[in-house]
Amino acid sequence: MSFLKNLGKELKQITDEFEQSENLQNFIFKYEPFEHEQVQILVAKAYLMVLSDSCEYPEENFSSEYFIQHFKQHTVLEIQLIVLQAMLIRLKQHANEKRAQFNDWYNELIEYAEQFSQDNYQVIDTLIEVYSYKAQNLSGKDPFKVHYFYHKIIQLSKKNLSNENYELVFQAEQKIFQFYLSRQQLSAFKQSYYAINAHYLSNHQTDITSALKQNTAIFLQFWLDVQKDQNPFLHPEIRQFLQYLHIQDDLKNLILQPENQRQYQFIFELCYLFWLIQYEEISEKYWFVLLKYHQTLQDYQSLIDSFWFDQPQRRHGFQSFLIDSTDKYHSLNKYRKMFNTSLGKNNL
């Protein structure tokens, strides 16, 4: 079909038809022959919507393969980006049933993406999804290749990233953190922990904050295990972590909102460690948080028994400290009730 007559009016009508269409396949049949750039963009968008909605295409010319091969030669950027998204859909929808073609499709997508500016956020978002999917596909098979693809995601995330793949980037950072832990790559493990905190502590999504809490418990426990039975002094990494925690209000506030018994125990462990490095005022306030949640010294007696004390008097000293702090807490509460005042926030 030749160039449209009454161009402006016709384009408006076609755009309205696209936006109001209840059957995009009919829209595609009707307008795919039109060569006009704006019409081709609408047809490409319609194809992408059809491909996104279903994994089954009874008509051969509604398959992702048909669309990709017939539209990938377009020179219009908007259409090229739609083709790139269609390649991702094909990869995700049909990889399990057509495993032999998975690598070919993956390579075709990567090669096609190379023609675009690597600062285009749509390209970056698509590549992040591709690398994430590739990593998941290799999970349990080749940990080093999985690690490679998660690193590619992190590299891309430093560019012009939209918010769409925020969680995929976080997942990649988490996987890298776990990889370094499993491989005992101590320097990289440490760097990864602090980097994740720097990037995500201001985030308030429940799944992310929960992961940050868990990371912190894992990180500290790792260095405690390294320290165990070596000498009577805390490992330098533990001291550094405690000093870091003291000034990181976002992380501290997360930890001091326990949701289960294990998190209560973690707060108690921190209480002990701060006491051990003679930060008694900080230690006391961690203990106050537990008392606020109706925890008692008896609740933690078995945990105290598991702590490593290089001297018997150290155990006695810590228990005496907790008893004195408990008395202080109840005295302050009594004062508050008597004068109807608030203790205020603990500036931990």
Contact of 46 with 18, CB cutoff 8 Å: yes
Q: Is the pLDDT of residue 87 over 90?
A: yes
pTM: 0.82
Domain boundaries in the chain?
1-94, 117-183
C-alpha R_g of the chain: 29
Q: What is the pLDDT of residue 273?
A: 92
Q: pLDDT category, 250, cuts 50, 70, 90?
A: very high
Contact of 165 with 128, CB cutoff 8 Å: yes
Distance CA 204, CA 266 (A): 21
Distance CA 56, CA 7 (A): 36
Q: What is the Cα 88 distance to its own chain's centre?
A: 21
Rounded mean pLDDT, 61-83: 88
Distance CA 62, CA 186 (A): 51
Distance CA 345, CA 291 (A): 14
Q: pLDDT category, 345, cuts 50, 70, 90?
A: very low
Q: Is the pLDDT of residue 230 over 60?
A: no
Rounded mean pLDDT, 230-234: 59
Q: What is the pLDDT of residue 137?
A: 85
Distance CA 64, CA 83 (A): 9
234 versus 218: which is more confidently predicted?
218
Q: Is the pLDDT of residue 201 over 90?
A: yes
pLDDT digits (tens, 9 = 90+) for 95-153: 666 667 888 889 999 999 988 877 888 889 899 999 998 898 888 888 999 999 999 99
pLDDT digits (tens, 9 = 90+) for 271-314: 999 998 999 999 999 999 999 998 888 899 888 877 766 677 88
